[in-house]
Amino acid sequence: MTRQMTGARMVVQALKDQGVDVVFGYPGGAVLPIYDEIFQQNEIQHILVRHEQGAVHAAEGYARATGKPGVVLVTSGPGATNAVTGLTDALMDSIPIIVLTGQVPTFMIGNDAFQEADTVGITRPCTKHNWLVKDTDKLSTVLHEAFHVAMTGRPGPVLVDIPKDVQFASGIYTAPQKGGSRRYQPQIKGDLDAITELVAALETAKRPIFYTGGGVINSGKAASQLLCELVEATGFPVTSTLMGLGAYPASGKSWLGMLGMHGLYEANMAMHGCDLMINIGARFDDRITGRVDAFSPHSTKAHIDIDPSSINKVIRVDIPIVGDVAHVLEDMLKIWKSRGRKTNKEALPKWWAQIEEWRKVDCLKFEQKGSIIKPQHALKRLEELTKGHDRYICTEVGQHQMWAAQYLNFEGPNRWMTSGGLGTMGYGFPASIGVQMAHPDALVINVAGEASWLMNMQEMGTAMQFNLPVKQFILNNERLGMVRQWQELLHGERYSQSWSESLPDFVKLAEAFGAKGILCSDPDDLDDAIMEMINYDGPVIFDCLVAKHENCFPMIPSGKAHNEMLLGDASTKNAIGAKGAVMV
């Protein structure tokens, strides 16, 4: 179906045709025609953020919590440059978002016009793909293609830059085509020979492990279900990266907990000692591998990934399988069942017995005593008091993020929103707004550090305006805690600039926005205070004053191997060698 309309109307029409119901944005001169169209309709809700970075993170949170793409609309120049951090964040974590930017009119491009920026140039390396549309007739096709590219294959952020004259001009609108003639069609089905080879390895493995990542979540709910089926049927242990938490339930009996730099002892030791590693939708990130030449030295490695460039990038694998996780797992289960559902029945109990030994180390233990709340304790209580709820967790970046990953349990996919690859302080609060938009009745909590939270605190206005009852659970150590921890371990306890000075009174801050503020500093008051937060119908800033110098363990220091983990303060002296010190 084709119709004549203005470019601005096409934008709104394309969003409707793509099933978009919410857009996060901020207006400006170069997008006024589109805002005018938004004004004249009711199907798409526009959430006015308070900073464009917030819009992008909100869209990321929305996307991650729904599996649908998040949409952002911002103006040219500063609007576009403010979106860059969020785009990079989404690229690193493979989050599908569509960012629409206004641009100066085509006849002024290149003249250093007011609020002109080379948006496609600036965002070329931080998008999966981007377009500058110079012709209204091409606009609708590009917009549909943008959704297709963002959602197909390895998901990611895309950007469409729309000059103002293109918004004003009339052109032909084309509705999205089903399946269509689109050329961009990454490989979805895995190679059956390779999958069979993996099944054969699985049948005889003595010490197997599933190492799962964000790709399982991105592949959709079916992938998580298939993963659970495979894990239950084989009885193999399973660990996950930060990005993959929830794909296999934390209450499942094969769950080892998160792996990596701040992963669990048993998970990292099992990775180090396994003889078959099955990487499903993870990318051997440096937070996972530690020292590459000492990474899991005695294992056969299989890698399932939709992105061929992830395979053999960091770690050389023996069985590469390019394909979508759900499709490959389905084939894998089918082949394994048809070959008689074999596993190595003699060896597996021994492997589990070894894992149980590692578990006895109880690497997450801590002691809550005295009058100061330990951050780990705060999270344990939060877990306990919220676990029955329809709960979504976001985080900022720092120690609190790692503790949240360690002490909170995720029972299903899409319930954990965190900035993994880029580690963006300021991600969590706006992300929680996006999640709450997607799930208005759910309990949405952002586990925050006081420093990260301040980076996008302006979004309190957004939360209030749209009645989004997001809970900001701030573990306030009055420190840039993770920076302080590294300075302690690496820089002779010289705490350069890692104090959070001149912090606001968070309760008064909440009240200034018309929200609720709760201050808690006494372990005895903690449960009541958390309940008060949960039960309050509206946004809450929970200022939880916690121990200031707590370190996050376990920790694999940079440049060390999985079996060289630090478990507690006693073992930290000179933990990071000169070689590790140059790494981040």
Residues of this chain that bind ligand TPP (CB under 6 A)? 396-400, 423-426, 449-452, 475, 477, 479-483
Supply the minimum distance, in Å, between the C-beta of residue 312 and other proteins: 6
Supply the minimum distance, in Å, between the C-beta of residue 509 and other proteins: 40
Tokens of residue 184, six digits: 């961009």
CA-to-CA distance for 114 and 116, rounded, in angstroms? 5
Does 136 sit near Mg ion (CB under 5 A)? Answer: no
Asked if residue 124 lies in contact with residue 80, where contact means CB atoms within 8 angstroms, the answer is no
Q: How far is CA 104 from CA 8, 9, 129, 211, 557, in A?
A: 14, 18, 20, 47, 48
Q: Quick one: what does residue 483 bind among other proteins, ligand TPP, Mg ion, none, with the CB cut-off 5 to 8 Å set by partner type?
A: ligand TPP
Supply the minimum distance, in Å, between the C-beta of residue 550 and Mg ion: 10
What dihedral do alpha carbons 89, 95, 100, 104 form, nearest 10°? 30
Supply the minimum distance, in Å, between the C-beta of residue 60 and ligand TPP: 15
CB closer to ligand TPP, 282 vs 475: 475
CA-to-CA distance for 345 and 118, rounded, in angstroms? 61
CA-to-CA distance for 452 and 279, rounded, in angstroms? 32
Asked if residue 262 lies in contact with residue 233, where contact means CB atoms within 8 angstroms, the answer is no
Position 100, amino acid: L
Query: Residue 114 catalytic?
Result: yes
Site for Mg ion in 420-449 (CB under 5 A): 449
CB closer to other proteins, 195 vs 510: 195
- CA atoms 48, 52, 54, 58: torsion sign: positive
Site for other proteins in 140-159 (CB under 8 A): 149
**Is 354 exposed, middle or buried (CB count within 10 Å of its CB: 0-12, 13-18, 19+)?**
middle
Q: Quick one: what does residue 162 bind among other proteins, ligand TPP, Mg ion, none, with the CB cut-off 5 to 8 Å set by partner type?
A: none
Q: How far is CA 251 from CA 86, 373, 472, 543, in A?
A: 33, 26, 26, 29
Does 194 sit near other proteins (CB under 8 A)? Answer: yes
Closest listed residue to residue 436, CA positions, set 511, 539, 330, 518: 539
CB closer to other proteins, 38 vs 149: 149
Cis peptide before 554 (omega within 30 of 0): yes
Residues binding Mg ion: number (CB under 5 A):
6
Q: Quick one: what does residue 102 bind among other proteins, Mg ion, ligand TPP, none, with the CB cut-off 5 to 8 Å set by partner type?
A: none
Q: Quick one: what does residue 90 bind among ligand TPP, Mg ion, other proteins, none, with the CB cut-off 5 to 8 Å set by partner type?
A: none
Catalytic residue among 16, 107, 114, 583: 114
Does 113 sit near other proteins (CB under 8 A)? Answer: no
CB closer to ligand TPP, 169 vs 422: 422
Does 44 sit near other proteins (CB under 8 A)? Answer: no
Q: Quick one: what does residue 452 bind among Mg ion, other proteins, ligand TPP, none, with the CB cut-off 5 to 8 Å set by partner type?
A: ligand TPP
Percentages of the chain per state (helix, strand, coil), in multiples of 5: 45, 20, 40
CA-to-CA distance for 263 and 54, rounded, in angstroms? 29
Catalytic residue among 52, 145, 450, 550: 52
Query: Residue 52 catalytic?
Result: yes
Binds other proteins by CB under 8 A, chosen from 45, 114, 184, 189: 184
CA-to-CA distance for 62 and 71, rounded, in angstroms? 9
Query: Residue 177 catalytic?
Result: no
Q: How far is CA 11 from CA 30, 33, 80, 522, in A?
A: 14, 10, 17, 52
Query: Residue 115 catalytic?
Result: yes
CA-to-CA distance for 504 and 476, rounded, in angstroms? 11
Does 16 sit near other proteins (CB under 8 A)? Answer: no
Rg of the chain in Å (alpha carbons)? 24
Does 197 sit near other proteins (CB under 8 A)? Answer: yes
Task: Provide the edge-to-edge strand list for the sheet that holds 416-417.
Answer: 416-417, 391-395, 443-449, 471-476, 540-545, 516-520
**Nearest residue to ligand TPP, by Cβ distance, number only:** 449
Three-class secondary structure of residue 207 per DSSP: coil
Supply the minimum distance, in Å, between the C-beta of residue 403 and ligand TPP: 8
Q: Quick one: what does residue 482 bind among other proteins, ligand TPP, Mg ion, none, with the CB cut-off 5 to 8 Å set by partner type?
A: ligand TPP
Catalytic residue among 5, 68, 115, 313: 115
Binds Mg ion by CB under 5 A, chosen from 281, 481, 517, 554: 481
Q: Which stretch binds Mg ion (CB under 5 A): 220-228, 402-410, 424-432, 469-477?
A: 469-477
Using CB under 5 A, list all residues that contact Mg ion.
449-451, 477, 479, 481
The binding site for other proteins (CB under 8 A) comprises 120-121, 124-125, 128-129, 132, 149, 183-184, 194, 197, 307-309, 311-313, 316, 318-320
Residues recognised as catalytic: 52, 114-115, 164, 482
